[in-house]
Amino acid sequence: MDINFTFDKNHDIIIKLLLWQEVSNMEYKKIYKEFIKNNKYKKLSKENHHGTSRIEHINRVAKMSYGISKFLKLDYISTTRGALMHDFFLNDELDNLNAKRFKVHPEKAYENASKYFEINDTEKDIILSHMFPVTHKMPQYKESHIVNLADKVVSVYEFGRYQVKYTGALAIVFTLELVNNVFKFI
Ligand SMILES: [Fe+2]
Ligand SMILES: [Fe+2]
């Protein structure tokens, strides 16, 4: 009797997980549809980003952010939308700024996003603060912290997977910026 009970219980959990996954996929695609229809946004698929395309990076960050924020019962629509716009810039738009690219691209992404899409306060904060602590703009909402964290996790994964030789350098730059900003906040 116990064995059957355990089986049924596990079976229920698997069905619920599959349903959650199915609903999540449909919901995510519905949110993403608005962005991928935009001609400038489509160009992100041709932009190099961490050894992969920017659209691929953005989708990784947005899917992770969607899952975490939905699980935590936060505003997952704004979290996903903000994540989908967080790196909305073309490499040509920042060409003159090479070394400062890390710091200025959130503003460029916000400028582009606000030109083509309706943005609420949470989404604006997500875009502008996603590079904290490299930049000084600290996330103001839980949703912004989620995207900030997802972006770091995905970036480390992508550097490890696609650009192994730069991973060490990125870790050093990131650590120096972190130390630098922590001292400014103390
Ligand atoms: Fe970024
Ligand atoms: Fe990013």
**Ion ligand 1 residues within 5 Å by Cβ:** 87
Domain region containing 27: 2-185
* Dist. CA 58 → ligand 2 center (Å): 6
Distance, in Å, from the CA atom of 25 to the CA atom of 19, rounded to the nearest integer, reads: 10
pLDDT score of 90: 95
**Domain total in the chain:** 1
Phi, psi values for residue 47, rounded to 5°: -90, 135
Is the entire prediction scored with pTM above 0.85? no
pLDDT score of 186: 45
pLDDT score of 137: 92
* Dist. CA 86 → ligand 2 center (Å): 6
- 59 in Cβ contact with 150 (< 8 Å): no
* Dist. CA 125 → ligand 2 center (Å): 14
CATH code, 19: 1.10.3210
**Ion ligand 2 residues within 5 Å by Cβ:** 87, 151
- 113 in Cβ contact with 127 (< 8 Å): yes
Q: Indicate left, alpha or beta for 159 from its phi (over 0: left) and psi (-120 to 50: alpha).
A: alpha
pLDDT means over runs of 10, the chain (186 residues) = 62 85 92 97 94 94 96 97 97 76 91 98 98 91 95 89 68 67 54
